[in-house]
Amino acid sequence: MSTTFTRRVSDQLTAYPDLAKLLGKTPAELKKEVWLFAVPHDDDVAIGGGLWLKAAIDAGVQVHLLAATDGRMGYCAPEEKADIVKVRAKEMVDSSRILGVTDPARIHFLGFPDCSLSLYLGRRAIKPGEHDFEGGTGYTGLQGAFVKKLREIKPTRLIMPSPMDYHPDHQIVYNEMMICIFHAGGGVWPELGPSCAVPEVYEMAIYCDFPSPPTLQLKCDEKTFQAKLDCIAAFKSQKQIGALVEKVRGAGPCEYLREVGFSFYDANNYHGLFAGQAIGEPEEISDGEFEDEFGSVEDEFMDAIMGIASEVAGQVAEAVAHKVIGGKKAKKAEKKAAKAAAKKVVKKAAPKKKVVKKKVVGRKVVGKKGK
């Protein structure tokens, strides 16, 4: 397999000749890894991560596939309803074999009803007549099933659909699996197995885009790319699969992943943000102190208002007087009108003398409103 890998950090691109170097591992270390592709539907891995799956298999990684739903809503004709679950399960086994997953024990079907995952959020007691998805614990729900599989498989890397996908099953699988990483690494629900380490998490795009640009690129040769296309085409029960194959073909022999920074909260990460010298509480000053300190500002404001008002009133009075009276009488009239207009404008614009309550940077002013 002739494949190249590229990592993007901001605008810097770094090329790597093989998967081990891309991930900072030796070939021997990479062979000890376990990868889990967790998806809602049987055909999602082939569409979004078939080339990454193939690269991992070729590098000696132990790869597991997990399909959360049973695919029951994927029928394309009424007569297909009765057998569609079995048909799609077989298609996933056949498809995965093309890319190198030859052990059926590494393909995990949880069997939750397709397009109804919202009914199985979290973990709860089984209701009478409900299917047991945990195998005898008395509980059901995606979180219990996911935690059980995480603890069984113990993946070092977890690849899931982007949470930006419009399909609700894709969003639910991503969100529930993210909290299950936390549960699986803790001591809760011991009946589901011993805790496991937190894996590295990656997003792959299937139908909708990434929430932000991907960070890893895989580019392969045409032979490997054709194997991916054949893998997708193996889902023959999906009548639209031919159009999807051509769309993928048109994008070329590349796939992308987005690394997800999954980390737990640690207060030590934020101590430095508050390490500077904090200012004390604001001082309190009286009305008199405030007026002594800021009274000149108020006087300057009043002078400016009066000046503007006089100028405007004078211009108005001059224009009116010349138009109506004319000659010498106009000059007397305009002076009288200017004074009257100025007083009227200033009276409306002038603020009250007393300050109610004002806040000053670093100091607090207190006082009662003047009458």
Q: Residue 97: pLDDT band by 50, 70, 90 thresholds?
A: very high
The residue whose two tokens read 């960070």 is: 215
DSSP 8-state class, residue 352: P
**Residues 170, 45: contact at Cβ < 8 Å?**
no
**What are the CB-based long-range contacts (under 8 Å, 24+) for 21-24?**
22/216
Q: Which two tokens stand for residue 318?
A: 């001059």
pLDDT tens digits, one per residue of 19-72: 999 999 999 999 999 999 999 999 999 999 999 999 999 999 999 999 999 999
Asked if the model's pLDDT at residue 154 lies above 90, the reply is: yes
CA distances from 171 to 174, 180, 205 (A): 5, 14, 12
* Radius of gyration for the chain, computed over Cα atoms and rounded to the nearest angstrom: 37
pLDDT tens digits, one per residue of 250-264: 999 999 999 998 677
**CA gap 109, 42 in Å, rounded:** 9
pTM, two decimals, is: 0.73
CATH superfamily for domain 3-264: LmbE-like (3.40.50.10320)
**Residues 207, 165: contact at Cβ < 8 Å?**
yes
**CA gap 274, 288 in Å, rounded:** 36
CA distances from 260 to 87, 203, 212, 355 (A): 34, 7, 11, 56
